[in-house]
Amino acid sequence: MSEILTHAVARLAGSQAWLVGVAIARSARASLVEAPTREQATRAVQRASGLDVRIANRGLVPNDPREFHVRTFLGRGVLHGQDQIVHNPRRGLRRWVMRDSRPELRETGQTRRLNLELFHDGAVVIAVPLDQPPYLQEHDSAATYVRVSLVEATALALTALANVWAEEVGTAGALAMRLHLEPHRTAPNSLMKAITPELIGYQTLPPNVPDESVAVGQFFAAESKTAGGVDLDDMRAAATQLAEDVVHQFGVSSLEILLPASLETAAD
């Protein structure tokens, strides 16, 4: 898993901050069997797009106040609306690669946009760029700002895509997952800071660094696993663990999308 992560990060533009998720099957698919097709790769991402929202909504009851959080902070998920890359998978080294076709790919081999890799053995990589709010960069341009809800959205997308791809290529059994934060490399030894919005009723203010949070100089990758198979409860628990293990490193006590049954409990 570490080798896959290292190779994935090398293909990402260093001027951009990233959330990078990796999933591997505990029992990898044999490399000598027929390689998955382009159509399978496209179908897997299409199936995963929307499944991440279903995972987030799992367990919600009618008129559940958590619906507002899913709708506001997840929307339709990070995989939605990526038809340009989803319908044009490129061949890679024992994998299908999906990323935007931009001039920088030909010039540098690196991308600044969503990057997906579906390996023939059942492994998955998803890299999501972290937008940096200009009004925060004016205060501290060296820092990497990490939106809590995007951590959750990436964890959900990774969990959905990993399980769908494993099912698509016939990989059975548990999946191990890792979520990594790659800060931008334009300033050496820069700090990473979590950002969350303030909610006033149903009004959402721009995200800022929470008062109770701490800046992080060294990030430790979060890890989780699923039992395999498209089980919504299992996938929700796995995605929640990944997201919590990331944001807790910043001293942030609660998530924005994957809230427990009681919002009052989440706010304590």
* Percent of the chain's residues with pLDDT above 70: 93
Structure tokens at 67: 């619906």
Determine the pLDDT at residue 148. Answer: 97
Q: Are 166 and 120 a contacting pair, CB within 8 Å?
A: no
Whole-number mean pLDDT of the chain? Answer: 89
The pTM of this model reads 0.92
DSSP H stretches of helix in 83-231: 83-86, 103-108, 134-137, 148-169
Question: Which of the residue ranges 7-16, 41-50, 53-62, 198-207 would you say has the lowest mean pLDDT?
Answer: 198-207
Alpha carbon distance 142, 179 (integer Å) = 23
Where do the structural domains in the chain lie, given as residue ranges? 2-267
- What angle is formed at CA 209 by the lines to CA 151 and CA 70, rounded to 5 degrees? 40
Half-sphere exposure of 45 (CA within 13 A, CB side): 30
Q: What is the mean pLDDT of residues 10-14?
A: 86
Q: Are 219 and 184 a contacting pair, CB within 8 Å?
A: no
Q: Are 252 and 267 a contacting pair, CB within 8 Å?
A: no
Determine the pLDDT at residue 29. Answer: 67
Structure tokens at 140: 């501290």
Crossing angle for the helix pair 148-169 and 232-247, to the nearest 10 degrees: 140
Alpha carbon distance 104, 58 (integer Å) = 39
The strand pair at 95-99 and 90-92 is best described as: antiparallel
Determine the pLDDT at residue 267. Answer: 40
Q: 50 in the Ramachandran plot: left (φ > 0), alpha (ψ -120 to 50) or beta?
A: left
Residue range 198-249, pLDDT digits in tens? 888 778 889 999 999 999 999 999 999 998 877 999 999 999 999 999 999 9
Res. 118 pLDDT band, cuts 50 70 90: very high
Res. 20 pLDDT band, cuts 50 70 90: very high
| CA distances, 194 to each of 139, 246, 249 (Å) | 15, 10, 9
**pLDDT(175) > 50:** yes
Res. 116 pLDDT band, cuts 50 70 90: very high
| CA distances, 167 to each of 26, 84, 138 (Å) | 14, 24, 46
Q: φ and ψ at 243, to 5 degrees? A: -65, -45
Q: What is the mean pLDDT of residues 170-174?
A: 80
Structure tokens at 72: 């506001």
